[in-house]
Amino acid sequence: MSLRPESRRRSPGLPAPRGELSDDVLAALQRNEPSCLPPAQARQADPYGEDLQLALYVLYELHYQGFKGVGDDREWDPGLLALRQVLEQRFLAALRTDVPPHDDAEQALDALQLEPVGYDGSSVSHYLQREGELWQLREYAALRSLYHLKEADPHAWVIPRLHGRAKAAMVAIEFDEFGAGRSEEIHAGLFADLMADLGLETAYGHYLDAAPAQALATVNLMSLFGLHRAHRGALVGHFAAVEVTSPPGSRRLAAALRRTGAGPAAQRFYDEHVEADAVHEQVVRRDVVGGLLAAEPALESDVTFGLHATGFLEDRLGARLLESWRRGQSALRSPLAGAEGGAAGEVPQTAKEGARP
């Protein structure tokens, strides 16, 4: 039985707005009234910008943990759902423009398994393994907590939309993600342990205000695919991208944590993913993707879209992180407080000065 505090025991507070869209959504939730922003304004918003991505993130969170002081019934508020649809269409349209079409899922999966011959400077996990500092690993963990503290939940939405071989394999993998029947082994809980070892706050949603749009977009993509049956193929593609790329990336991150002196719980999260996802990688490729396409071959282009959209957004986030870190600056909207971890977690003064609004 796990004795760790439950990170999702309470709903988080609402974040600060980042523009007209998110301000309207947050005001509607606080007033318990429908959103009143004209859809035309939402259609003109930057699809990858802070305002739209935060508004979309907040609307999606109503399907997860919700927010303190916001009624559970707002999850299905018709006005909020109508606005969310406009934001989703804007986000999806941009992705379909920026992600070239691919139809061969086998080829796309093969490409994911090819490790680069040399380090080209664009990989966050390579950077952290080779030269990353502890404060950068703490920032990385804070950003990733927006997903990892609900790890596997967005992917679970696809289970009722699968059948046969794909469904059985998906459930088997998700069973592992949720601890294989042992609450102390739930991966979201293991990540909370990692955060505690790094001196970070483990409460669900705590770092939302600090996370830039690039980080929000990676989580929003999962929610968008998961909440729509029409995107079941894309969600399977996203899931495959995560599982196939996880073992080598996790191995590098575990090495980075050892090199910088992080605690054993921090290292264990990534060590667990090296072992578990090496098995998952084969199952997801052969049975989840293979089973889905055997049953619904018309979804192959959706699967490849999910694969490549995942990589596109991860690359955008990686560029944001590396650009800031190489200047010695924080990649967060507001740097982590020195009190969160004491001396081990202190951020250099240049990082404090370089924080973006």
pLDDT tier, 120 (very low <50, low <70, confident <90, very high otherwise): low
Residue after which a domain boundary falls, among 81, 98, 115:
98
pLDDT at 345: 42
Say how far apart CA 191 and CA 46 lie, in whole Å: 32
Decide if 3 is inside a domain. Answer: no
One domain for residues 252 and 113: yes
How much is the average pLDDT of 246-267? 91
One domain for residues 127 and 150: yes
Q: Are the C-beta atoms of 18 and 51 separated by less than 8 Å? A: yes
Q: Which two tokens stand for residue 132?
A: 């990353």
Query: Using CB atoms within 10 A of its CB, is residue 200 exposed (0-12), middle (13-18) or buried (19+)?
Result: buried
One domain for residues 52 and 138: no
Decide if 7 is inside a domain. Answer: no
One domain for residues 93 and 193: no
pLDDT at 35: 66
Whichever domain contains 335, its CATH number is 1.20.910.10
One domain for residues 63 and 169: no
Residue after which a domain boundary falls, among 49, 76, 98:
98
Decide if 320 is inside a domain. Answer: yes
Containing domain of residue 336, as a range?
105-353
One domain for residues 180 and 264: yes
- Please determine, for residue 189, whether its predicted confidence score (pLDDT) is greater than 50: yes
How much is the average pLDDT of 255-277? 87
Decide if 11 is inside a domain. Answer: no
pLDDT tier, 211 (very low <50, low <70, confident <90, very high otherwise): very high
Q: Give the number of domains in the chain.
A: 2
One domain for residues 205 and 338: yes
Say how far apart CA 80 and CA 59 lie, in whole Å: 7
- Please determine, for residue 342, whether its predicted confidence score (pLDDT) is greater than 90: no
- Average pLDDT value for the chain: 89
Distances from the Cα of 331 to the Cαs of 2, 184, 298, in angstroms?
Answer: 33, 31, 40
One domain for residues 167 and 257: yes
Query: Using CB atoms within 10 A of its CB, is residue 347 exposed (0-12), middle (13-18) or buried (19+)?
Result: buried
* Lowest-pLDDT range of 37-51, 68-82, 138-152, 213-227: 37-51
Decide if 12 is inside a domain. Answer: no
Q: What are phi and psi of 346, to 5 degrees?
A: -65, 140
Residue after which a domain boundary falls, among 63, 98, 133:
98
pLDDT at 38: 67
Decide if 1 is inside a domain. Answer: no
pLDDT in tens, 40-91: 778 889 999 999 999 999 999 999 999 999 999 999 998 899 899 999 999 9
Distances from the Cα of 322 to the Cαs of 15, 46, 123, 128, 309, in angstroms?
Answer: 25, 23, 8, 10, 20
One domain for residues 94 and 109: no
One domain for residues 46 and 140: no
Decide if 337 is inside a domain. Answer: yes
Positive or negative, the CA dihedral 203, 209, 214, 219 is positive
Which single residue is written with the structure tokens 């025991």? 9
pLDDT at 122: 81
Decide if 10 is inside a domain. Answer: no
One domain for residues 37 and 141: no
One domain for residues 117 and 238: yes
